[in-house]
């Protein structure tokens, strides 16, 4: 399959790279890293990265603004998007050839060619491993290494999560051989505005423990975000906070969107929770998923489900 994808890259003169909506560092890292690789390897080709710009992740660069005509004979590569509804810019369907590259569970297979490896930490690691393989013609450069590295850092929680493998560390080490300010960029990504700091204080003061202290949750309203002059996308730095409390096994951040929809960012230290997210208009990784809830009753149902798996996990692993 990789050979077919590499052949398609050679064959097409126009290549358009997509990723998922509300991008995280891995979505942008894999997208912009691949763009830099293809521009380095094939300077005569037209390479574009599309989707909405996210000012909070500006270090990855700006998206391209292209018209529909560019898709006519284009190769479209979609990175880090498990299902079709979450692809940013639905024009991906207009291309001549479609490729899916991802590391989420493959519940929505799509594309003419596809590589999906849930066992890998990130789509950035997947692409970096392909590019760094000397048997392939793709050329790494400093910009691509920077993007892939930041994508790996993002999806491993700075190498904290158990999706970090020896291979992950080896690839990150290879990327660090290139010339980019890794330490400065990581420090910058860990820096927050005073408004984000106040949001963290709100989370610490207002999170709620349930299910014998194994589940933690917090609700972040649009009114609160507006009072802090923050957007829903700027809440990413508080996602892990409820999980830092002793005894918590699963947790969720409920974040009200501008359209009134409640986005649920669900996390786990042990039990799989993506099957729960799938029951609430969502999905994702076993221990990091997203969902949507549409009522207080559904919010309570989601918390109860997280409580069931958290208590079962505690009994199994801690002899409760």
Contacts (Cβ under 8 Å, ≥6 apart) of 45: 12, 13, 14, 15, 38, 39
What is the structure's pLDDT at 59? Answer: 87
d(CA 61, CA 64) in angstroms, rounded, equals 10
How large is the average pLDDT for residues 52-80?
93
Contacts (Cβ under 8 Å, ≥6 apart) of 80: 19, 20, 26, 27, 30, 31, 101, 102, 103, 104, 122, 123
How large is the average pLDDT for residues 237-261?
95
Above pLDDT 90, what percent of the chain?
Answer: 88
* pLDDT bucket at 56, cuts 50 / 70 / 90: confident
How large is the average pLDDT for residues 84-90?
94
What is the structure's pLDDT at 166? Answer: 97
d(CA 171, CA 125) in angstroms, rounded, equals 7
**Contact criterion met (CB below 8 Å) for 202 and 237:** no
* pLDDT bucket at 55, cuts 50 / 70 / 90: confident
Above pLDDT 70, what percent of the chain?
Answer: 99
What is the structure's pLDDT at 302? Answer: 98
* pLDDT bucket at 197, cuts 50 / 70 / 90: very high
What is the structure's pLDDT at 223? Answer: 97
How large is the average pLDDT for residues 162-172?
96
**Contact criterion met (CB below 8 Å) for 79 and 102:** yes
Helix (H) or strand (E) holding 293: strand 288-293
**Contact criterion met (CB below 8 Å) for 83 and 108:** yes
What is the structure's pLDDT at 319? Answer: 58
Edge-first strand order for the sheet with 14-18 is: 46-49, 14-18, 75-79, 97-102, 113-116
What are phi and psi for residue 77, nearest 5 degrees? -115, 120
Kindly report, residue by residue over 253-270, the tens digit of the pLDDT: 999 999 999 999 999 999
What's the token pair of residue 290? 């997203």
* pLDDT bucket at 320, cuts 50 / 70 / 90: low
The per-residue pLDDT of the chain, averaged, comes to 95
Q: Is 87 helix (H, G, I), strand (E, B) or coil?
A: strand
Kindly report, residue by residue over 277-287, the tens digit of the pLDDT: 999 999 888 99
Kindly report, residue by residue over 133-149, the tens digit of the pLDDT: 999 999 999 999 999 99
How large is the average pLDDT for residues 56-74?
93
The Cα-based distances of 106 to 95, 110, 114 in angstroms read 22, 9, 10
**Contact criterion met (CB below 8 Å) for 306 and 252:** yes
Residue that wins the pLDDT comparison between 91 and 54: 91
d(CA 169, CA 202) in angstroms, rounded, equals 35
What is the structure's pLDDT at 190? Answer: 81
What's the token pair of residue 307? 């409580």
Q: What is the 3-state secondary structure (H, E, C) of 111-157?
A: CCEEEECCCCCCHHHHHHHHHHCCCCCCCCCHHHHHHHHHHHHHHCC
CB atoms within 10 A of CB 226: 11
Beta bridge partners of 40: none
């Amino acid at each position: 399959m990789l050979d077919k994808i590499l052949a398609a890259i050679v064959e097409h003169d126009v290549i358009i790279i997509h990723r998922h909506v509300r991008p995280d560092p891995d979505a942008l890292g894999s997208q912009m890293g691949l763009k830099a690789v293809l521009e380095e390897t094939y300077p005569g080709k037209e390479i574009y990265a599309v989707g909405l710009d996210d000012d909070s992740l500006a270090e990855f660069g700006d998206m391209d603004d292209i018209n529909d005509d560019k898709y006519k004979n284009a190769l479209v590569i979609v990175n880090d998007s498990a299902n079709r509804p979450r692809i940013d810019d639905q024009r991906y369907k207009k291309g001549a050839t479609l490729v899916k590259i991802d590391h989420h569970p493959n519940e929505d297979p799509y594309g003419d060619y596809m590589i999906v490896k849930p066992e890998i930490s990130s789509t950035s690691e997947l692409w970096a491993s392909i590019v760094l393989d000397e048997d392939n013609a793709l050329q790494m450069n400093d910009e691509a290494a920077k993007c892939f590295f930041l994508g790996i850092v993002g999806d491993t929680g700075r190498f904290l999560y158990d999706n970090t493998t020896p291979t992950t560390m080896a690839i990150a080490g290879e990327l660090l051989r290139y010339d980019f300010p890794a330490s400065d960029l990581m420090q910058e990504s860990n820096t927050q505005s005073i408004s984000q700091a106040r949001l963290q204080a709100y989370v610490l003061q207002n999170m709620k423990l349930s299910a014998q202290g194994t589940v933690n949750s917090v609700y972040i309203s649009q009114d609160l975000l507006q009072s802090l002059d923050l957007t829903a996308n700027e809440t990413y730095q508080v996602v892990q906070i409820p999980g830092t409390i002793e005894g918590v096994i699963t947790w969720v951040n409920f974040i009200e969107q501008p359209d009134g929809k409640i986005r649920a960012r669900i996390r786990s230290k042990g039990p799989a929770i993506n099957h729960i997210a799938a029951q609430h208009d969502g999905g994702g990784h076993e221990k990091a998923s997203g969902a949507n809830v549409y009522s207080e009753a559904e919010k309570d149902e989601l918390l109860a489900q997280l409580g069931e798996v958290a208590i079962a996990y505690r009994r199994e692993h801690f002899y409760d």
